[in-house]
Structure 1
């Protein structure tokens, strides 16, 4: 009797759970379809424009021919180019964003340090990325050092800027509350200021990673013999728009994957916000 009662009561809950899962899956599929609609329309229009003769094939190859070009690149060390660009991006990102976090915490927590460093960093931030290339070539040559340094420069400033702003915008009432509870200065920093600033810090890190991919292209213009930037240059010099387009698509895919990874990490580290809402 008790078992049947539990079963009859449990059945609606199970059905409701299944319905929620179906609804969640349907919404995800619907979101994917919406996201793919514009690229698919663009691909169809490009295919039609080339096939109809509105655009010359040597300027824009038909999208249907890109798959064969991609397979040819796979047989000619494409994965090595992807690997080379990827490790350059992440090494430069870790160096640049790490230094950005270090100096941002110093500047955000100490007005004296801010007065010394902020004017210099603001001036350096305004220098275009390509302006660094001649100087890096003179200092570091054409080896990996110049490329990694350029990527690190690109990763430094988004992390630095967002972290300083996040720390300085922490609600002073929280700090006063820490003083009421007689927390030491370091306890205030690690238990109040940095957790409160963490959303802005993680946003800066995401921006730094995205900018690292952009600076990687500029970095691989420095006499590179491997990497996606090298493929772009090689496609331009050999009049191969298919290689150029495939390289651009690869950059978009890799950038999206890395950004999605950072988003997952951000949601994991900030899961306490959801708990607070509950």
Structure 2
């Protein structure tokens, strides 16, 4: 058995380095394309405000937002971000957990579907703002009402996508499980849930996005901390810079959490790459 020479080792490292560079180049191009539209919008807004076409009290120049950010960062900005993030993750965890439990029950049991599906379909149609007066009466203006509203927002996309994913499992897979004489829960754990995993994860991503939306609805009504409070405070004090900065923070946090969910989805569904290869 011959050992690789130093030249062969260096050559192998160069090949791996070139492969890494070739795979990184498309990602860099994609990133540049994604940043093009925001950069153009920023430049156009900067020009329109500086040239006097738009009054600064209506739309501040993007360059002035940096001063607002530094002003808020030296204050309680991080407390607002933490308050909103904590509410979102708590509500999302509760709502998605309950949604998965009921969705698996409805997706696997026709009797449960007949009892639960009509009620869930009706409740799903209720706008988010309609829940706020009732939750304030029941739970007050503390954290419980906000987290409950966020949980409601996360529940239905997770529930709907999970039920659809379970019912959309290929019947041929179930027939194969019957041929191998797998027991009922073995079929659920080894066949149905893995096959439904893409739809379930899509529902979780949608639920997390809606959690941020419902969080704003909760904080705009009754809150003393949070990004929604910043939006309301900026409107009441006629500070469009604070309002726009709060919107940008929502976009950044929403994108960040969605990227984390996408990374989780890629890791959970890594078996698809194995099948393709």
TM-score, normalised via structure 2 length? 0.96
1:14-35 CA-partner distances (Å, limit 9, x unpaired): 4332222222222222221111
Distance in 1, Cα, partners of 2:88 & 2:30:
30
Distance in 2, Cα, partners of 1:8 & 1:67:
52
Report SS of the residue matched to 2:221. Answer: coil
My pick for the range that moved more, 133-142 or 73-82, is 133-142
Distance in 1, Cα, partners of 2:254 & 2:112:
34
Alignment correspondent of 2:45:
46
Distance in 1, Cα, partners of 2:67 & 2:229:
20
- 8 Å contact 1:50–1:61 — kept in the other structure? yes
Report SS of the residue matched to 1:239. Answer: coil
1:96-153 CA-partner distances (Å, limit 9, x unpaired): 0000000000000001110111011001111111111111111111111110010000
Change in Cα spacing, 1:5 to 1:120, as seen in structure 2 (3 Å) is closer
Distance in 1, Cα, partners of 2:234 & 2:94:
30
Distance in 2, Cα, partners of 1:214 & 1:125:
15
Alignment correspondent of 1:259:
258
TM-aligned CA deviation for residue 7 of structure 1: 5.4
- Within 5 Å, give how 1:1-278 maps onto structure 2: 6=5, 13-278=12-277
Ranges in structure 2 where 5+ consecutive residues have no aligned partner: none
Report SS of the residue matched to 1:221. Answer: helix
- 8 Å contact 1:88–1:148 — kept in the other structure? yes
Report SS of the residue matched to 1:83. Answer: helix
TM-aligned CA deviation for residue 3 of structure 1: 7.8
TM-aligned CA deviation for residue 12 of structure 1: 5.0
TM-aligned CA deviation for residue 176 of structure 1: 1.1
- Give the alignment's Cα RMSD to 1 decimal: 1.6
1:70-93 CA-partner distances (Å, limit 9, x unpaired): 011011100000000000000000
Distance in 1, Cα, partners of 2:124 & 2:190:
31
Report SS of the residue matched to 1:59. Answer: coil
Distance in 1, Cα, partners of 2:2 & 2:51:
70
- 8 Å contact 2:220–2:231 — kept in the other structure? no
Report SS of the residue matched to 2:55. Answer: coil
